[in-house]
Chains A and B, each alone.
Chain A
Amino acid sequence: MSLLDRERTVAPRGYNRWLIPPAALAVHLSIGEIYAFSVFKVPLKDHFGTGLTAIGIIFSIAIGMLGLSAAFGGRWVERAGPRKAMALAATCWGSGFLIGAVGVATTQLWIVYLGIGVIGGIGLGIGYISPVSTLIKWFPDRPGMATGLAIMGFGGGAIIASPLEDSLLTRFGAGPDDGIVGAFIVLGCVYFVLMMLGAMAVRVPPEGWRPEGWTPPERSARSMITSANVTATTAIKTPQFWLLWTVLFCNVTAGIGILEQAAPMIQDFFPSVTAAAAAGFVGLLSICNMSGRFVWSSTSDVVGRKPIYMGYLGIGAICYLLLATAGTASVAIFVLLTGIILSFYGGGFATVPAYLKDLFGTIEVGAVHGRLLTAWSAAGIAGPLIVNGLADHETSVGKSGADLYTISLFIMVGVLVVGFIANLMIRPVAARYHETDRAAARDERFVRDGQPATTASPTPNTMTTGSES
Chain B
Amino acid sequence: MSDMTMHGHDDAPAGATGSAALAIFLWVVVTCALIYGLYNTFAKVVDLFTG
Contacts and interface: CB of A to CB of B under 8 A. Distances in A.
19 contacts: A12-B13, A14-B8, A14-B9, A16-B4, A16-B5, A17-B3, A22-B30, A26-B30, A160-B33, A197-B29, A198-B26, A277-B48, A280-B49, A284-B41, A284-B45, A284-B48, A331-B49, A335-B48, A469-B13
A126 to B, nearest CB: 19
B26 A25 contact: yes
Interface string B1-39: 011111111011111100110111111011001101110
Nearest to B28: A22
User: Which 4 pairs between the two chains have the least Cβ-Cβ distance?
Assistant: A14-B8, A280-B48, A159-B37, A14-B7
B10 to A, nearest CB: 9
Contacts of B23: 19-20, 22-23, 201
Contacts of A194: 29
A196 to B, nearest CB: 10
Interface string A188-218: 0000001001101101000000011000000
Contact of B40 (A20, A162, A203, A274): A162
Interface string A6-28: 00100111111111101101100
Nearest to B15: A468
B21 to A, nearest CB: 9
Given A12-B13, A16-B5, A201-B23, 17 more contacts: A15-B16, A15-B20, A17-B3, A20-B23, A22-B26, A23-B23, A156-B34, A156-B37, A159-B37, A160-B33, A197-B29, A200-B22, A276-B47, A281-B45, A283-B41, A284-B45, A287-B42
Q: Say whether chain A's binding surface is mostly helix, strand, loop, or mixed.
A: helix
A18 B20 CA distance: 10
Q: For chain B, give the interface size range.
A: 35 or more
Interface of A: 8, 11-20, 22-23, 25-26, 29, 153, 156, 159-164, 194, 197-198, 200-201, 203, 211-212, 273-274, 276-281, 283-284, 286-287, 331, 335, 465-466, 468-469
B41 A287 contact: yes
Contact of B4 (A11, A18, A20, A23): A18
A274 B41 CA distance: 17
A26 B11 contact: no
A465 B15 CA distance: 12
A276 B24 CA distance: 38
Chain A CB within 10 A, most for which of B7, B15, B29, B46: B15
B12 A197 contact: no
A469 B11 CA distance: 10
Contact of B30 (A19, A153, A284): A153
B5 to A, nearest CB: 7
Nearest to B10: A14
B4 to A, nearest CB: 6
Contacts of B41: 159, 162-163, 283-284, 286-287
A468 B13 contact: yes
Contact of A277 (B4, B25, B37, B47): B47
B47 A25 contact: no
B9 A163 contact: no
Contacts of A15: 6, 8, 12, 16, 20
A466 B8 CA distance: 13
B51 to A, nearest CB: 4
Contacts of B8: 12-15
Contacts of B27: 22
